[in-house]
Structure 1
Amino acid sequence: MPAAHFTRTLRTAFFTLGALFCAQAAPIAAAQPPATFGDTSPLVWSARLGNSEIARLGTKMAYPAAKWDYANFLFLNSLLSLDTHLGQDRYLPWVKGTIDSFLSADGRTIQHYKLAEYNIDHVAPAKAVFALYHRTKDARYRGTLDVIREHLKTHPRTKEGGFWHKNRYPHQMWLDGLFMGSPFYAEYGRTFNEPAIFDDVAQQIRLVAKQTYDEKTGLFYHAWDESREQSWANKTTGLSPNFWSRAIGWYAMALVDAYDYFPADHKARPEIAAIFKKLADGVIKYQDPATGVWWQVTDQGSRKGNYLEATASSMFVYSIAKAINQGILPRDAYLPAVIKGYDGIIREFIRTDSEGRTKLTRCCKVAGLGYGRDGSFEYYISEPIVDNDAKGTGPFVFAGIELDRLLTINAPASAIPAPTPVSVKIFASTKTPTTSSSSAQPGSPASASNPTASLAHTFADDAARKAWTEEMPAILARIKAPTFPKREFSIVAHGAPTDGKGDSTEAIRKAIEACNAAGGGVVLIPAGTFYTGAVHLKSNVNLHLDEGAKLLFLTDPKLYPTVFTRWEGVECMNFSPLIYAFEQENVAITGKGTIDGQADYSNWWGWVKLDANTKPEVPLARASRNRLMAQANDNSLPNDRVYGPGEYLRPPLIQFYRCKNILIEDVTLLRSPFWVIHPVLSQNITVRGVTIISHGANSDGCDPESCRDILIENTKFDTGDDCIAIKSGRNNDGRRLGIPTENIIIRDSEFKDGHGGVVLGSECSGGIRNVFAENLTMDSPNLDRALRFKNNAVRGGILENVHMRNVQIGQVAESVLTIDLLYEEGAKGAHKAVVRNVSMNNITSTGSPRVMFVRSFPGAEIDDIRIANSTFSGITMTEVLQHTGKITLDNVNIIPAKTARAANSVPPPAAPPAPPK
């Protein structure tokens, strides 16, 4: 019998015997459980996923890129537990640097944590801080732990003493909330000798079990509303209508993790063990017999739309395995379900990506209740499904540790793959560090994206060294994200419907006006779905979208009144941008929610295209655009260039016009009618942690125009046009204002589809200067260029002082560097086009047809282009260099995809005749 077949047969026998044992509770001797799953052991799987996540995330889990977030800190805590299990400090430096980035020197100021929110989710991250405290006894961590302990002293409660889920979710207890609060609370009681805490933790566990357990199914409902007022709550029982597997998983982990800290003689220990046994029995009842894993909606099996889900499956395997190790559950009766579940996770959810990294697939991104989320089956299956959500990666790592203990594998540390070191160089001060770098500082020998770069490769030359070490830090020091008073103005309180259907335009307007009139604060869009027309921001207003919030823009052009704007570099009156601010200060759009322009080919995009690839013979927008371009050169006044209703110039998703002190952070931006983010004539701009996905015509990602002092970091671009397109006005209208875009820092970001990654032009008549781009990844067959300049003799303008370093490029379609001064009108104009002082350093590419596509014409200028310490492999085409000045290559390797066979200039000599026999 082949070895592989024997392993499968033995495992099947183990499952069968174990199932009989569970059913009959008879003393049957089960077969020896397996020590490997797939191709390796559980602990190696934990390390593989942990190492892959560190490589993928780099500094993205540190402040300011990330939040004080229960899911991220669950993953961090799992790595510290892996260190403890291995008896090493492999993960400690990365985890410690990440956690430290959120904490002040005394630990009592925590970035992104707000006591006034009384959000039980914000207690859970302190579990990872506890792990650091036990290792280091650092007073800084004790300060943080004490802050969170004080929080729980005043957290609002139900009549029987249960913690509310959040201040904004009054009278509600969710299964999730037990994990968020109870394990930390119990550990604090054990560590700092507060025995009364154990009675309180037991009461939390008891209340949730009492209110949410369903005798018929053996499962626990997601949530309970004491007031019976929530739209999702049963008016008799207060219960939500369905069983969500991850919610049950949170409760399962809460029970076993809190149980660790209860004194051995505490009267509640048997009660907690009994509750967990009921939970485990119910969960195993609904374990999918074919795969061994669990469904998104626990009891609905293969009902249409339901799916096998990774985060809950990992939580169940971890918590049941841990309960066996704790002695809560008998080993022989419950081990088969653990083995079958873990084996199913490896087979169903674990995959390897194109870079050889391990990933956890089919993770429900988020789900909740209220604000349009009705708890129905249809709701739970409608939320996004993603890879590598930390709500799954952390439990998966924990599961591998418990399996290693449970199966007494005791894998030696030498057999476990180690992570590639990634340095986190952010350390918070007592003040909020709005401009701290999440990468290596200029002049350091390594960057976050390339930790092995040598000092010799940090700069291309002395001119680049000065730019990076003197000019760039001075720009960065001026960029300070705005802060806002701790006042909250919910759009729901101002009349926004919570059924996920009505129009919230007026409610949003009222909330913004109230916030502005009060001196500023946060206009809150809570979790749920809200529809709106144009949103006009005012000074000192932070439009904040909670995780799970979806702001969908209606597509009727009549909802977007005519405003003063700039369209393709020309000032005019046109449809309002979907989110717009004019001459305001201290404005922000933040939060982990989603802003969706809802553009497609049946509305905005259809004005220029019939579908993704086809243009109509005469696009609706053509006549409008042609008329505006003519007005750009006829010295007409911008207020006389009136478009909007009856015309077809699409508005951008977000535009800040003549504003200063701007922040766009963490939001996901989808399906813009036109350009996505378009600040104009503005200053002090921060775009951080944003995800941009928009594939319509001209869907540029971020287009700062005639702006200065701009930071774009930790942002993902996946667009239908240029990812970042830096502009400064078009033709005569751009020269009329004559205001350049200058002082831009782009770093730690990812570029997927788009015509170009970092692009300057084509509307650049006012000039562009002082651009710094570092620590970027670019890879897509639909990304055409990495660094692109586009200009001509009609636009004119000087593009200078552009520096790029530490960029990893996979596949691009045209070239790494494109400088095209024959773009569109080309040489047919009277204005000089200039590109000069461009440095590129430590650039690697593996799939570009050529390194350079550089073309110009007599009278234009391309000069002082420097590429150093770079390797370009897989080159398939000849370099294009036309009418250029000085181009310098220093320590550059250009490696063709296929080496040409050598050819001699003369034929080789004939072979000598064979000697006579």
Structure 2
Amino acid sequence: MKLTRTLFALAAVSAFVLRSAAADVPQKFNGATPLEWSQRLADSEMKRLGTALEAGGSNPKARWDYSPGVLALGLVRLGETTGNSAYTQFGTRAVASHVNPDGTIKGYKEEDYNIDNIPPGKVLLAAIARGDKNPAYVKAVQTLRDQMRRHPRTSEGGFWHKKRYPHQMWLDGLYMASPFLAQYAVEFDEPALFDDVAKQIVLMDAHSYDPATGLFWHAWDEARAQSWADKKTGFSPHFWSRAIGWYAMAIVDSLDYLPVSQPEIDHIVGILKRLADGVVRWQDPKTGVWWQITNLGTRPGNYLEGSGSSMFVYALAKAVNKGYLPREKYEAAILKGYQGLLDTLIKSNPDGTIRLTQICQGAGLGYTMANGRPRDGSFDYYISEPIVDNDPKGTGPFILAGIEVEKMVSTKSAATASFQARGWDDYERVLARIKAPTFPAKDFPITDFGATAGSPDSSDAIAKAIAACHAAGGGRVVIPAGEWFTGAIHLQSNVNLHVSKGATLKFLTDPKKYPIVFTRWEGVELMNVSPFIYAWEQENIAITGEGTLDGQADWDNWWGWNKKEPGKVTRQKAARDRLLQMGETNVPVAQRVFGPDDHLRPNFIQPYRCKNILIEGVSIIRSPMWEINPVLSENITVRGVKIHSHGPNNDGCDPESSRDILIEDCVFDTGDDCIAIKSGRNNDGRRVGVPTENIVIRNSKMLDGHGGVVLGSECSGGIRNVFVENCEMDSPNLDRALRFKNNAVRGGVLENVFMRNVRVGRVGEAVLTIDFRYEEGAKGDFKPVVRNVQLENVTSSASPRALYIRGIPAGVIEGIRVKNCQFNDLTEPEVVEHAGIVTFTNVTLTPKKLPKGLNSVPSPEAK
């Protein structure tokens, strides 16, 4: 067996690198990367401050307070990002020095119920999360948690800003407490806290948002008793950029810890989107930064302010990096804002350090300043507060902004960046990423290259036509009506293999017609006989037409390699076991060479590391194994394909470690999984480490098979962002509608799966199956995870159960939501084992045989 020179050279390469990196956005700003700017300001502040933030240090007024806590947290995050422990140690000392050995906090008084006392606890939580279980740190954060248990609240449960600010919620207060409580819930296993965190964010939105401007009022007084409060609404009179920045940071930082199963998660992301739209609307068009009073621009006395501007850039960039906001919509504003910070607000010092300027030293509401000016929320008040350089409320967010902007510009472009889908609001976002390739209007009939209908082998003619089409810049390689025979077909860029109506392209059953190539077999990379139609690192390829692709597989050839007979070992078993062992022990792929004598069947269609793929209109029958299996590929459209193939392991469409996929208007009649989404098997899947993500499945029919839409079982690289809608799943031989197959050997996170408007006829096991006991079950070291699964408007005619959920103690199943669904003719009890919360909203379960009602009061007729 010989490998082509190109494939052998690439055989050891297994990491998938998308070629559309962010060449369209700047990597440096004013001569340095964003991370370098964060380090420059961090170095400058550490030099300037020395021990001034520490108890017992150079500043006798140093205290436990939110303001130095913000800078300290920025330094800790910078240290975690860069690996420079000097930043982490400086930030941690600034806070930890105020904690006594017994865990009490210097100067702290719980009875003040001051929400500003909470933020330094985030630095201690960060230390705990890194593994530093210092008992003093633990006692200190538990003290802060205890304060929030008893903290006074509004009538709806919103935290007062302080005891001496009764009945008031401030935007500032959301940042002070919410991210701390969310992380505390994770570190100390208190999941009920997530609901309280969500409540605070939602209440602040309800009582602060102004639809006219898209902004948020600084504060709200439930009692309408404060001099600054509107007597009808309770709102304070102006929009202060830093207050809105606090709220923005509170949301993105809390979302780091809120589980996707949190009921208010979609609502919170929606609040974030509205906040982002308002912030971008009022961005100064000239400088890119924001004004002290956000919406009053150049009004005399107003000024471009450093802390709020830094907070906005940080929160927006992080929201894009986390997938809460679409990059394509907000990237320009973020880049303009960051550039504006450097051009307008960062200044150089004679000693080579830098400073952040034009920061409002402090602003609040109520009481009177030392100079006798009341804090009445007026415009004159906000602009009267001192304007300073290097206030920690600005320097901390600036450092954080650089970290997030660096992530954004150094990752993929808007079209390819990964994100976490939260629900159907992200559906159009996924669709917008998928565009079918187009081809020049030039045809290359295979008959022009020597092919004759009915001849024993047209392989050479087809290969010549593909080469000519590719060399000419692309077009269609046309298979005319008639019967044609071929071996392996290897597509090249810009080639559309068009199987005309009335054409049947039959693939020869001689394994020697299929050269050895780099491929995957059941999720493990190897060198093996070529898939029937294969492409390696090509762009703009297609298989179209109304003709038929016939694999000619039966039990006398390909299928016989996995024929199961009593008392006999299948012909593929020895090679399969050897391959799986190679994957587990990291044998280089170039040494995993298999061939026809090993009886590992090829898949039918496999684009490998390809981009821009269209498979449309064709019918596929008699496949050796999986029919359509794009691997490590992107931008894939499968449309109008009809698959009827009932051999062993004849999955219909198996996207694997690929992204941005549309499957629509198809028919799957496979006898195995109709659509099986995969991402690599066990150790080999973890080695490659590429998830399958961003899939839309719609307007399709699933007939015979183990499952309609299935995730797994080869899923070690993870699967996310799957949307299924307007499908019909109905066959006496269809086992499940939506199925998750995972275990503690596979591992992998399967998340963000949304199904709606699906009609299920009869299925054999359940409409939804989540099975962690599949094959090896709990006998492994890798946690299987399924989370954020939503079924909406799904109806079934008949099934034993609606749900069959079998977890394991070491696994995670959470956020299963079923809404507006009806499941009929149920015959067995529902199964839910080792799972988190499963939510039913307006769901009807109708048993096949309704039990007779038992009345304690006899009916009138019985008297």
Partner of 1:678: 629
Structure 2 residue corresponding to 1:575, chosen from 522, 529, 539: 529
One-letter identity of the residue aligned with 1:492: T
Cα separation, 2, equivalents of 1:487 and 1:892 = 54
Give the equivalent residue in structure 2 for 1:526.
480
Matched, 1:724 2:675: yes
**What amino acid sits opposite 1:706 in the alignment?**
S
Change in Cα spacing, 1:776 to 1:615, as seen in structure 2 (3 Å) is farther
1:516 to 463, 470, 477: 470
Q: Counterpart of 2:429 in structure 1: which amino acid? A: A
- Cα contact 2:625–2:649 (8 A) shared by 1: yes
**Contact 1:460–1:867 (Cα < 8 Å) also in 2:** no
Please say if 1:607 is aligned against 2:543: no
Counterparts of residues 107-118 of structure 1 (less than 5 Å): none
Write the deviation string for residues 580-618 of structure 1: whole angstroms up to 9, x where unpaired: 0011110000000000001111111111126xxx56621
Counterpart selection for 2:550 from 593, 596, 612 = 596
Task: Name the residue aligned to 2:796.
Answer: 845
Query: What's 1:656 paired with?
Result: 607
Cα distance change, pair 468–859 in 1 and its aligned pair in 2 (3 A): closer
Give the counterpart letter for 2:767 in structure 1. Answer: V
Residues in 2 aligned to 1:788 and 1:461: alpha-carbon distance in whole angstroms: 24
Asked whether the 8 Å contact 1:585–1:659 carries over to 2, the reply is yes
Give distance in 2, aligned partners of 1:800 and 1:490.
Answer: 45
| Structure 2: distance between partners of 1:847 and 1:469 | 27
For 1:761, which of 697, 708, 712 is the aligned residue?
Answer: 712
CA contact (8 A) 1:460 1:841 kept: no
How far the C-alpha of 1:848 sits from its partner, in A, is 1.1
Q: Distance in 1 between matches of 2:492 and 2:573?
A: 33
* Match in the other structure for 1:734: 685
TM-superposed CA distance for 1:902, in Å, is: 3.5
2: CA distance, partners of 1:585 / 1:816: 38
Equivalent pair of 1:791/1:821 in contact (CA under 8 Å): yes
Residue 460 (structure 2) aligned to one of 500, 506, 520: 506
**2:440 aligned with 1:485, yes or no?**
yes
Give deviations 1:379-402, integer Å, cap 9, x for gaps: xxxxxxxxxxxxxxxxxxxxxxxx
2:467 match: secondary structure: helix
What does 1:332-351 correspond to in 2, within 5 Å? none
Once the two structures are TM-superposed, the CA of residue 904 in structure 1 deviates from its matched residue by 7.1
CA distance, structure 1, for counterparts of residue 756 and residue 425 of structure 2: 16
- Whole-Å separation in 2 of the counterparts to 1:597 and 1:672: 5
Q: Which amino acid aligns with 1:630?
A: Q
1:544 alignment counterpart: 498
**Matched residue, 2:450:** 495
Native 8 Å contact 2:739 2:768 kept in 1: yes
Q: How many angstroms does 1:470 deviate by?
A: 3.5
In the alignment, which of 416, 426, 431 is matched to residue 476 of structure 1? Answer: 431
- Deviations 1:436-471 (CA, angstroms, capped at 9, x unpaired): xxxxxxxxxxxxxxxxxxxxxxx9985999845542
The answer to whether structure 1 residue 816 and structure 2 residue 767 are counterparts is: yes
Find the partner of 1:865 among 816, 828, 835. 816
Kindly report the root-mean-square deviation, in angstroms, between the aligned alpha carbons of the 2 structures: 2.3
Residue deviations 1:227-268 (CA, integer Å, cap 9, x gap): xxxxxxxxxxxxxxxxxxxxxxxxxxxxxxxxxxxxxxxxxx
Contact 2:423–2:752 (Cα < 8 Å) also in 1: no
CA deviation string 1:513-565 (max 9, x = no partner): 11111111110001110000111101110000110010000111111111100
Q: Which amino acid aligns with 2:444?
A: F
Deviation of 1:792 after TM superposition, in Å, equals: 0.2
Note the C-alpha offset of 1:501: 3.6
SS of 1:838's equivalent?
strand
Equivalent in 833, 846, 852 of residue 901 of structure 1? 852
Alpha-carbon separation, structure 1, partners of 2:422 and 2:544: 31
Q: How far, CA to CA, are the matches of 2:707 and 2:815 in structure 1?
A: 22
- Sort the Cα spacing of 1:468 and 1:838 in 2 relative to 1 into closer, same or farther, 3 A: closer
C-alpha contact 1:460 1:840 (8 A) present in aligned 2: no
Please tell me whether residue 699 in structure 1 is matched to residue 654 in structure 2.
Answer: no
**CA deviation map 1:107-160 (0-9, x unaligned):** xxxxxxxxxxxxxxxxxxxxxxxxxxxxxxxxxxxxxxxxxxxxxxxxxxxxxx
Task: Report what 2:699 is aligned to.
Answer: 748
Q: Is the counterpart of residue 627 in structure 1 residue 585 in structure 2?
A: no
1:416 corresponds in structure 2 to: none
Q: 1:802–1:733: structure 2 CA closer, same or farther, 3 Å change rule?
A: same
Q: Look up the SS of the partner of 2:819 in the other structure.
A: strand
Aligned counterpart, 1:618: 569
Counterpart in 2 of 1:82?
A: none
* Structure 1 counterpart of 2:525, one-letter code: E
Change (3 A) 1:462 1:477: same
Residues 579 and 761 (structure 1 numbering): CA distance in 2 closer, same or farther, change over 3 Å?
same
Q: Is the 8 A contact 1:699 1:721 kept in 2?
A: yes
Stretches of structure 2 lacking an aligned partner (at least 5 in a row): 1-263, 271-420
Q: 1:795 to 1:856 in 2, by over 3 A?
A: same
User: Which residue in the other structure is 2:839 paired with?
Assistant: 888
Q: Aligned match of 2:758 in 780, 790, 807? A: 807
- Counterpart of 1:293 in structure 2 is none
The change in CA–CA distance for 1:491 and 1:868 in structure 2 (over 3 A counts) is: same
Secondary structure of 2:464's aligned partner:
helix
Residues 608 and 615 in structure 1, CA contact (< 8 A), matched pair in contact too:
no
DSSP 3-state at the match of 1:851:
strand
Counterpart check, 1:781 vs 2:732: yes
Task: Give the Å deviation of 1:901.
Answer: 2.5
Q: 2:777 aligns with which of 817, 826, 850?
A: 826
Q: Give the superposition deviation at 1:903.
A: 4.8
Q: Give the whole-Å Cα distance in 1 for the aligned partners of 2:754 and 2:268.
A: 10
Separation in 2 of the partners of 1:705 and 1:469?
Answer: 23
Structure 2 CA distance for partners of 1:838 and 1:464, relative to 1, 3 Å: farther
Amino acid at match of 1:657: Y
Which one-letter code corresponds to 1:768 in the other structure?
I
Q: What is the letter of the counterpart of residue 489 of structure 2?
A: V
Structure 2 counterparts to residues 244-393 of structure 1, below 5 A: none
Cα distance between partner residues in 2 of 1:631 and 1:769: 27
Which residue type is aligned with residue 584 of structure 1? Q
- Does the 8 Å contact 2:619/2:643 carry over to 1? yes
The verdict on how the C-alpha distance between 1:615 and 1:729 changes in structure 2, with shifts beyond 3 A counting, is farther
Q: Which residue of 1 aligns with 2:111?
A: none
CA distance in structure 2 between the partners assigned to 1:852 and 1:713 by the alignment: 26
Which letter does structure 2 place at the counterpart of 1:479?
A: I
Q: Note the residue ranges of structure 1 that are not aligned, 5 or more in a row.
A: 1-458, 913-917
Shift of 1:502: 2.4
Aligned to 2:416: none
Contact 2:266 2:423 in 1 (8 A): no
AA in 2 matched with 1:815: A
For 1:535, the equivalent position in structure 2 comes to 489
